[in-house]
Structure 1
Amino acid sequence: WLQVIRLLFSMQLCTTLTVLGLLVTGSQAQGLMPTISLPPCDSPEAEAAALVAQGFLNTQHTHGYKYVLNQIDEIKIVSGPLQADTYHLELDFLETTCHVLDPTPVSLCPVRQKINTAVEADCDFVLANTTQGLSVVAFKCKTETESEGGCGGCLQLVPLNDTDGLQLIETSLDHFNKNNPLNTKFALLEIGRMESQIVSGGPRYFAEYAIIGTNCTSQDDDICIPQNHTVAIHGLCLAEGSANRVNCKIFAPVNTTLLLHINAIQLL
């Protein structure tokens, strides 16, 4: 009997040690598993991450217009002991009327209104929170347009290769080059958008386009070469209806923070 009791005790001790070992191993494994937190969308950490995403979005593209944060739809923070915390965000942005080359802070840029065909961007961002701060590691966006419905006299977007719209851009830029006080000839950099409006007498065209300074003066008729982006003067022009109705906002070179004294030139 004594041998049987010893054997049973030994088996029980072995079972107890095995269970304790499993508990310790499971606890260690659980400690290595990432944890997920869902802070409120209006929390300081959510807003800070969203502003980093906004700045990244506006510096990633050199064409078109700046975007401003509209709302935070969701934020999820994944934390792990062996890696930096990652922030997963779903964000809505609205297109502004400021060109990406415009040095105006995006917080001061007007949002494009629905009556002028607003553009919204739905984006997913992943940011890493390291000792150097938050940085974007991945993102994707899709854009949608939204306009006023049932508006007979509202502006309507037209394709960027529209013949009448291109003619307005060509003639208005030529008029601006011959009459601006900067004594600089500008070249077309890109077309932002073209619109038309039905009025009495036929459609009226509107165009937004970016320009860049060249190596020519206003009076030169030679072949003009656009200057390097880092040293060139840029601008955004709004042309309306006819060649001599053009308003251009001129920006300083992108490698300076200096704003030109003449930042808006309207030729009527």
Structure 2
Amino acid sequence: MMRFFIAAVSFAQLLSWLTLAKVPPLSPDILLGCNDPEAEAAAMVAVNYINAHHRHGYKYTLDRIENIQVSSRTPNREIHSLEVELDLLETKCHALMPTPIQDCPVRPRAEHAVEGDCDVKLIKVDGNYTVHSHSCKSEPDSAEDVASACPVCPPLAPMNDTRVVQGVDTLLHQINSAEDKPHYQLHEIGRARIWTLPEHAVELEFVVAATNCSTQDAKSAPDSCVRLTGDDAQFAFCVGTVKTNEDDTVNCTNFKPQSAASGPSPAHPHPKGQPAVAGSGHHHLPHLKLASSSGESSSSEMKVPTAAAPSAAPSAAPPAAPSAAPSAAPSAAASLIVKRSIAEKTILLLPRCPGKKRFI
């Protein structure tokens, strides 16, 4: 009886081995890696889309593709649906500025930079990626990270802090004191920091919008001034410092706003130009589920080549034979090196995610 039991177990193991040996290995194009060109192309479409729909605060740039999953494919193996997890970094370009993201400097950690995490679902049809939905969250670096980069640098101050609001009013009055210039209204406060060493100072970044009045007109009838819209819209991004000795400085850069993407956008300013100032130190990335529609911005699409045949490059993931147990199938976030010996051949599945970091 024992011999029969041992023979049955051995036969079952043999059948399992034969099954694995006969199943063709997974095609490498299914195991899309975070550093693959196709993943990079999808990520850039996602970042462009996020920036187009983020109308407050600052633009974000891609730091790393954290994970990527192919949800479904059409019969011809063209990617139909995929999901990406992205690590983003705040830049110094305001969200309304038309500056291309590649020309926007990344904000240094010493300035208490903000990081973003986004989950984006994309659809690919005929070589074009389109964002189907996205959800983001953002938060500043920890105080410890700021201190490690600059021990004396202060953290972000709440934008509704009395000293911040008064400082912006002071600098806005200075901007509007020039003769025969457009009269500006506050659009929004971007960020602020309050220094105590070597002297007390409030460091500010904010955006102002031009009105249909000159500074001279606004002195006699300020309530009649209305901000310019449409093709006439004009904004200025201002950086300034207010000090206790009244040695205040402010420098502004004028720009025409980039076209707004369709769809909801949170926290729009008050119609009269006095925005509701958030109590946090930064403008959060939109935590929205946005379903795609025919009216989406063209910035959410990018023409990319279809996936090329797998090459022998070292970065390409070699094929892996699936296990009979479902739990042994390679996951989209494979983080360990898995070795399996089949028919005296070792199949090596290299980690595909997370991808490379672009900034230190």
**2:127 & 2:30 partners in 1: Cα distance?**
22
Amino acid at match of 1:247: N
Pick from 185, 197, 202: which aligns with 1:199? 197
* Contact 2:98/2:257 (8 A) holds in 1: no
* C-alpha spacing 1:141/1:176, structure 2 compared with 1 (3 Å): same
Note the C-alpha offset of 1:132. Answer: 6.8
Corresponding position of 1:165: 164
Q: Structure 1 CA distance, aligned partners of 2:59 and 2:249?
A: 25
Q: Superposed, which structure 2 residues align to 1:119-268 within 5 Å?
A: 119-131=114-126, 133-146=128-141, 147-149=145-147, 151-179=150-178, 183-201=181-199, 203-220=200-217, 221=219, 222=221, 223=223, 224-242=225-243, 244-254=248-258
Q: Pick which of 219-228 and 108-117 moved more.
A: 219-228
Greater Rg over alpha carbons, structure:
1
In structure 2, the CA distance between the partners of 1:233 and 1:163, relative to structure 1 (3 Å rule), is same
- Unpaired runs of 5+ residues, structure 2, are 1-28, 260-360
Structure with higher RCO (Cα < 8 A, 6+ apart): 2
Q: Which one-letter code corresponds to 1:208 in the other structure?
A: E
Superposition deviation, residue 130 in structure 1: 1.3
What are the Cα deviations for residues 140-163 of structure 1, in whole angstroms up to 9, with x where unaligned? 111121141265521321111111
Rounded to whole Å, the distance in 1 between the matches of 2:201 and 2:49 is 37
Q: Is the Cα–Cα contact under 8 Å of residues 231 and 253 in structure 1 kept in the other structure? A: no
Residue 198 of structure 1 aligns to which amino acid in structure 2? T
Q: Which has the higher strand share?
A: 1
Aligned partner of 2:337 in structure 1 is: none
Relative to the length of structure 1, the TM-score reads: 0.75
When the two chains are superposed, the root-mean-square deviation of aligned CA atoms in Å is 2.3
Report the CA distance shift for 1:211/1:180 in structure 2 as closer, same or farther (over 3 A).
Answer: farther
CA contact (8 A) 1:152 1:198 kept: no
Letter of the 1:218 counterpart: T
Pair 71,184 (structure 1): closer, same or farther in 2 beyond 3 Å:
same
Residue 65 of structure 1 aligns with which residue? Answer: 58
Q: Is the 8 A contact 2:184 2:210 kept in 1?
A: yes
Shift of 1:115: 0.6
Which residue is 1:11 aligned to?
A: none
CA contact 2:72–2:82 (8 Å) conserved in 1: no
Tell me the CA shift for residue 232 of structure 1. Answer: 1.1
1:42 matched to 2:30: no
Work out the CA distance in 2 between the residues paired with 1:48 and 1:218. 47
One-letter identity of the residue aligned with 2:192:
M
Distance 2:196 2:257 in 1: 38
Separation in 2, partners of 1:78, 1:170: 51
CA distance, structure 1, for counterparts of residue 85 and residue 232 of structure 2:
37
Identity, % of aligned positions: 36
**Cα contact 1:62–1:101 (8 A) shared by 2:** yes
Change (3 A) 1:189 1:180: farther
**Deviating runs (4+, > 2 A) in structure 1?**
78-84, 149-153, 241-244, 252-255
CA contact (8 A) 1:239 1:246 kept: yes
The residue number in structure 1 matching 2:85 is: 90
Q: Please state how far the C-alpha of 1:125 moved relative to its aligned partner.
A: 0.7
How many matched pairs? 219
Shift of the alpha carbon at 1:45?
Answer: 0.5
